[in-house]
Amino acid sequence: MSRMSQPWVSHLLLTVLLLLCRYASAVKLHKPRSEVLSLLGEQEGRLYFGNCEQSSGRSSCVFAIDESYNQEPTQCAVTSLEGKPWWMGVLETPAYITKITLLNIDQLYRSHPDALRAVTIMAGDDVCFRYESDESFVKRSFPCDTVADQIVIRSRMDSAALTLCDVTVYGAPIRFRGVVDDAGPLRVQWCQQSSVSGNGYCENAFDGDANSNHNARPCAVTIDEALEIPSLVTEIKIFNRADCCGDGLNQFLLTLDNRVCADYEGATFESKYFPCKFFGDRLRIKSKKNRAISVCEMQVLGYPMELPRDAKFKALGCYKDNHKDRDLGQLVSSILMSHEKCYSICKRLGLKYFGVQGGAHCWGGSTYGKHGKVDEKKCSIPCEDNERQRCGGSIFNNIFEVL
């Protein structure tokens, strides 16, 4: 076997905390595979699953991870004939995943439509590959290049049976800082929210101020936050609103990348700890009563992932730009932008500073800051090529120094 609140907000509000560990978390490293493996000090090898689940089961999901490679139906993980069947496995440890190999059932034994003819392969929240074909395959490998601890094979077919005789994952395990010490606070990098009531901005939930009086210091209503680095989360402390509307948190689900940390139904609390023993990057608080919720502060404890230390640029902050007098003088690209892409272009051009703006634009120059530094809230547009990163605002740059 394998080794294994605001009363005038009427619609459903979600509070989301995103750890850039992403989860079952995932995070793209945006580096060549050989470079990442070298930085991790590891060689590509087989990774092993600890447990698994599937959408339905005429056979147990573990037949896909028992290392038998037998393609007879009784020795494979097989779901019922159903719409969009899926299989999910959790690795023994979070890892940098390079590829995933799937072994299908022998064609001689197939009696239902093959769900693998249209399938999405995911690591955590990241899509590794979307496959579609008129013909079934027997064995096929798919590239991934992401950090995660959960693999999901999800068919897009409306009526099919998913059969997996083996799921083999390759890559290298990652390390975590300070696991022998007590868990420490994890820093939030950015946030967004589905709606804003008054001045209840999402940044208020991680500004370090746990004041529960909304009128004295605004709380957050509906947030989506990103932690600075992928992490093993241990617990989350939530500070409720005290001046009114605290019963919005009487019934809610707390999940980390769709894994339930807490299903809370209880009395109104001022602050409360919730254990959450997962590797994660997207933490959600969802009301079970279809009503608004307010979070005055959210503190996340855990151990950050030890990313390869090869920083080539340094964040300097959010700066104002001007259409008639650009802060950074040279527009170098406006296609599918990310911090790494803008850095690479400006590095080649010999530019000392670079800035990303409007989600898509990369500017470079030898000086910066002529129009002044502004609040980080002004630079909140997701990058087109990496939505976990912020790429400035409509007329604001996230500026970096090339090291």
Fold designation for 26-173: Jelly Rolls (2.60.120)
Instruction: Let me know if the fold of 14-25+188-227+230-304 is the same as that of 26-173.
Output: yes
Percent of the chain with pLDDT over 90: 44
Topology of the domain covering 14-25+188-227+230-304: Jelly Rolls (2.60.120)
Residue 112 confidence class, pLDDT cut points 50, 70, 90: confident
pLDDT band for position 85 (cuts 50, 70, 90): very high
Distance CA 247, CA 244 (A): 8
Residues 6+ apart with CB under 8 A from 249: 238, 240, 264, 268, 269, 285, 293, 294, 295
Q: Report pLDDT digits (tens) over 318-347.
A: 999 999 999 999 999 998 899 989 998 999
* pLDDT per residue as tens digits for the range 58-67: 668 999 999 8
pTM given for the model: 0.62
% pLDDT > 70, the chain: 81
Indicate the domain borders of the chain: 14-25+188-227+230-304, 26-173, 313-402
When comparing pLDDT for 228 and 318, which is higher?
Answer: 318
- Express each pLDDT in 128-148 by its tens digit: 999 999 988 999 999 998 888
Q: For 237, what's the count of Cα atoms within 13 Å in the CB-facing half-sphere? A: 14
pLDDT in tens, 254-311: 888 778 899 999 999 999 999 988 887 777 788 888 777 788 888 888 887 776 555 5
Indicate if the pLDDT at residue 242 is higher than 90: no
φ/ψ of residue 326, rounded to 5? -65, 140
Res. 19 pLDDT band, cuts 50 70 90: very low
